[in-house]
Chain A
């Protein structure tokens, strides 16, 4: 089985038509589904949060069969993820796409679980500590995208589970948990 780094690729990754945007509706729907799954899987395992359409993204080309996705195809597949709520365009020109292989809500739940597991009730932690501190190692939170983290925290704030406040220096905010 072929690999992209440590990611196992499915057999159809070597099927040339997989890299050509199919015109027939039924075939296209199937193709889109397969790409959505593949993108989410790959991003989850590689902890990728952003895909830039104008940059090289290893999943979008296959040197073994000498095929790559056209810009139109990339946009079509990512737009499908956006429609499903599993991704968001970061700019109007659709050049960068935020991949939510976990939805914001899922991230929020993750953070809560993390707080419970580490007994963080009524304690304060910086945002940076949440995503790169010792406690977060081995969890999904480790190395997560800061923008996504902030959005998840804001969601929790709305629910009254956390309070976000500015720290001493402007680059790091603090989070107080009230579970």
Chain B
């Protein structure tokens, strides 16, 4: 792409950045521009999502999946302290960086010259908080540690982008495992402490916070009804801000669900779509939502998500182009399945299972079906019930349990109940059952 002065960043199928080994996300901001003030002919990167990691500054175009760029932190020479001016009070703050570049204007760690670029934070953002995280990430120089250990790649953990040991010390043998465990423990402990500190502070202000949040909520409610869809950008911006803020405090916005979902849920939704790919394969294409909830939270470790968050994240999938979908069965059971999953295929498989002679004599139970199909018993039962509703199977309830047989009622003529046609499932069943006596 001509004029691309930033490096290209890879994205997953769901629009999440592909992280390098050892790379960990630190901060996410929306509505950020990246511009180069001193070279106005450099095309600006407008209004994207900015993700700060331990290795890079990533910028993802909100509308176009292929538009993702990266600035390696290793190329940053200097971070200027953000100046506080009138402008920053109106929500448009800038962070300037001096980065190495090649002579023809591409950002490069080994570049011979340097240029100054600016990150323009347009949306609601805490400039100081971002700035301090940026400085921390830049000064820890995590990318150097990783690059000195090329042999150590733990792709499973990386693709999910979750926290792992960030030191570059060689991990080998039992002591390595122990050390890794220790590190994980320490970091978990630290983040728990920090979390609890925040919690303590919050608790002491709890009453004030609740009152404030209520006021905000009412204002949002009245604001949305009196203005309908916001008539101008300012109104829309501040409403969005308010929703984001409420969300971060843990209160779901009362304004309609059609509002495309805060940034948090969007990112979570994409992350979930990536994460769920492998468990889906292992589970044979369909997995219960409750299982995903457990697996996802177990993988996250400390930043657990609530069931509502999970449901919302799945609901947002409709708006993106992801290969997975949420499905609710008549019985109420919710599952995540691949969009490519075919009910007809499963039905055909069930039909072949239920026509085997053992199944003709004794039927099949959900656990029999689970084994034969290679899926969880709960999923198998749903499939059997679906097959029953389509008229393929009949149920048999007895003290021995819940079993299913091939539906023979279709083949029997009520006006001639002794007749067995010489073809068809009824005939097969009669001959199989009679042989065994």
Contact = CB atoms under 8 A, between A and B. Distances in A.
Interface of A: 8, 10-12, 14-17, 19-20, 22-24, 26-27, 30-31, 33-34, 36-38, 41, 66-67
Contacts of A24: 388-389, 391
Nearest to B399: A66
B432 to A, nearest CB: 11
Given A23-B388, A31-B409, 6 more contacts: A11-B420, A16-B396, A23-B395, A24-B389, A24-B391, A34-B417
A80 to B, nearest CB: 12
Interface in B291-313: none
A22 B432 CA distance: 23
Nearest to A8: B418
Please indicate which of the listed interface residues A16, A19, A23, A67 has the most CB atoms of chain B within 10 Å of its own CB: A16
19 contacts: A11-B418, A11-B420, A12-B426, A14-B433, A15-B408, A16-B363, A16-B396, A16-B403, A17-B394, A17-B396, A17-B405, A22-B394, A23-B388, A23-B395, A24-B391, A26-B391, A27-B391, A27-B394, A38-B417
Interface residues of B, number: 25
B402 to A, nearest CB: 10
B163 interface: no
Nearest to B405: A17
Given A11-B420, A11-B430, A30 B410 contact: yes
Contacts of A23: 388, 395
A20 B397 contact: yes
A18 to B, nearest CB: 8
B389 A37 contact: no
Interface string B382-395: 00000011010011
A2 B395 CA distance: 23
Please indicate which of the listed interface residues B388, B403, B412 has the most CB atoms of chain A within 10 Å of its own CB: B412
B430 A27 contact: no
A33 B395 contact: no
Nearest to A13: B417
B407 interface: yes
A2 to B, nearest CB: 11
B137 to A, nearest CB: 60
Interface in B408-427: 408-410, 412, 414-415, 417-418, 420, 426
A16 B398 contact: yes
Given A15-B405, A16-B403, A27-B407, A33 B414 contact: yes
A17 B306 CA distance: 43
Nearest to A68: B398
Contact of B418 (A10, A17, A27, A36): A10
Given A15-B405, A27-B391, A20 B396 contact: yes
B381 to A, nearest CB: 14
A12 B394 contact: no
A17 to B, nearest CB: 4
B429 interface: yes
Please indicate which of the listed interface residues B407, B414, B418, B429 has the most CB atoms of chain A within 10 Å of its own CB: B414
Nearest to A32: B414
A20 B391 contact: no
Contacts of B414: 30, 33-34, 36-37
A30 B398 contact: no
B254 to A, nearest CB: 40
Contacts of A27: 388, 391, 394, 407, 409
A20 B395 contact: yes
Contacts of A33: 414
Contacts of A10: 417-418
